[in-house]
């Protein structure tokens, strides 16, 4: 559970914000932190694709890849499109349940931050 702290703060943040316990400012902060968690800390399988197919080592976060030097920051290239193209990107992001839930977490966190920001600006 300790490894899932990013998920926990995102869920608690959404609940606390919906219940009016915390303001949008604090919620934006929590959402941003949880997005960073999914990108840099979440326990996942490596996103890199090698000659033998997809690397299956454990990695930390979507962007960082595993311990193999060539795989470090592979996720950055995949997600931000240096080569590979969109099709490859979605194939990677839906490759397994961990990557899918991490992508979902990033999307939720970013969306939450945007909604909270709009709320912050409008009020
Ligand atoms: Zn790897």
Distance 75 CA to ligand 1 centre (A): 10
- Between 97-122 and 5-18, two packed helices, what is the crossing angle to 10 degrees? 30
Inter-residue contact 37 to 63 (CB < 8 Å):
no
Distance 118 CA to ligand 1 centre (A): 38
Distance 107 CA to ligand 1 centre (A): 23
Locate tokens 């869920």: which residue?
Answer: 11
* pLDDT tens figures, 12-34: 999 999 999 999 999 999 999 99
Q: In Å, how far are 21, 45, 47 from 76, measured between CA atoms? A: 35, 15, 10
Query: What are the extents of the domains in the chain?
Result: 2-122
Total-model pTM = 0.85
Counting residues of the chain whose pLDDT is more than 70, the rounded percentage is: 92
């Amino acid at each position: 559970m300790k490894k899932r702290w990013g998920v926990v703060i995102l869920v608690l943040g959404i609940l606390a914000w919906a219940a009016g316990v915390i303001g949008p400012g604090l919620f934006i902060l929590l959402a941003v932190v949880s997005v960073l968690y999914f990108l840099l800390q979440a326990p996942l399988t490596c996103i890199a694709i090698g000659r033998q197919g997809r690397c299956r080592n454990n990695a930390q976060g979507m962007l960082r890849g595993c311990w193999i030097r060539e795989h470090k920051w592979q996720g950055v290239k995949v997600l931000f499109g240096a080569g590979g193209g969109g099709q490859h990107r979605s194939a990677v992001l839906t490759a397994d349940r961990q990557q899918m839930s991490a992508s979902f977490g990033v999307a939720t966190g970013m969306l939450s931050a945007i909604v909270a920001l709009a709320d912050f600006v409008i009020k």
